[in-house]
Amino acid sequence: MSGLWVSDSGDRFVAVSDNGKSVTGRLSYDAQGRLVGAGHYDVRPLILDKSLDYRGRLNDSEDLIRLPDGGWLVPFERNHRILRYDGADRPEGTPRKLPVPPGLENAPANGGVEALAALSDGRILAIEEGDDDGVRERHAWIAPADPKARGDWQPLTYRAAPRFRPTAAAPLPDGGVLVLERRVSLLGGWAARIVHVPADSLRGGATMDGVELARLEPPLPTDNFEGLAVRPDAGGGLFVYIVSDDNRSPLQRTYLMMFQLPAGALKATVAGR
C-alpha cells in the first residue's frame, strides 16, 4: 500500500498500491477505540491514461487524496503525472491528467511525487521523493484546487531529516500538513518520521522545515511506510494512520497503525518553533 485515505468516521479506508490497484476495506476497533483489524477488502485495477510519450511502467501509483468535490487525485512515478478520477467510494472511471508541475519531468524515475495533499483551503501540495542521495531539500509545488496550466504550480522546498525522504502527506484542519518520511539503510534498517508543517510555510518560494512529532525506529515495528491519513477524534485531537508497502517481498510486512495526537499538540509545536 503506497497511499491511504480513511473516512472521518474511521470505519472505511481506500488505498492504492504501487502496481496500479485501488483497495477498499473496513476498519474495526476495540472498546477503548484502538485499531484492531481490517477486512472486507475489494481490490480493483485503476484505469490508466495512455500516451505515446510514455515509456516503461504506467501503473506505479504512489499516493491518494480525496478532493472536497468528491473526486480523487493519484500521483504516479516513472511516467510522472497526477491523474484525477471520479468515483463516489474510490477512484474510478477514465482519469484526466493534470498539468505536470514544472521540473517534475526531471525527477528520478522512482523518485517522483510520493506525497500529495489537498489542503483545507482547497489548494494542492505535491512533494517529490527524490533520490537516496543524502540531500535534505526536495522539490515541492503548490497549486489551486484544479490547475489548468503548468504555471499554476508554484515551487517551494521541503527539507527532510538527514537520509530521510518524504513519502506521504495529509492535510490538517488548521491549514497545515503532516508529512511522512522514510529512511532505509543496510545497518539501521527501516525508519519513519511524522512531521508537522504549519500553514504559514505553505506558500510559493517558502521552505517547509517541519517539527518532528514521532519517529519509528527499531525496536519499534518498522517497515517501508508510504501511506498517511488523518481524521478528527471526538476530543478535538486527531487520529493518525500510517501504512507500509511490503514491496511484494516475503521479508517485509504490510502494517497499518493508528496513533492519537492530543488536542493542542499541534499548537504546541508551532509555539515551540
pLDDT in tens, 236-273: 999 999 999 998 899 899 999 999 999 888 877 766 66
Strand order in the sheet with 256-261: 225-232, 238-244, 256-261
Sign, CA dihedral 249-138-133-257, equals: negative
CA 159: distance to chain centroid? 16
Mean pLDDT of 104-114: 96
> How many angstroms separate the CA atoms of 191 and 32, rounded?
28
Count CA atoms closer than 13 A to 236's CA, side-chain side.
5
Angle CA 98–167–247, to nearest 5? 105
The phi, psi pair for 82, rounded to 5°, reads -125, 125
pLDDT above 70 covers a percentage of the chain that reads 98
Closest CA to 176 of 199, 209, 153, 148: 199
Tell me which of 73 and 248 has the higher pLDDT.
Answer: 73
> How many angstroms separate the CA atoms of 127 and 167, rounded?
8
pLDDT in tens, 144-183: 999 999 999 999 999 999 999 999 999 999 999 999 999 9
Mean pLDDT of 25-48: 97
Mean pLDDT of 42-46: 98
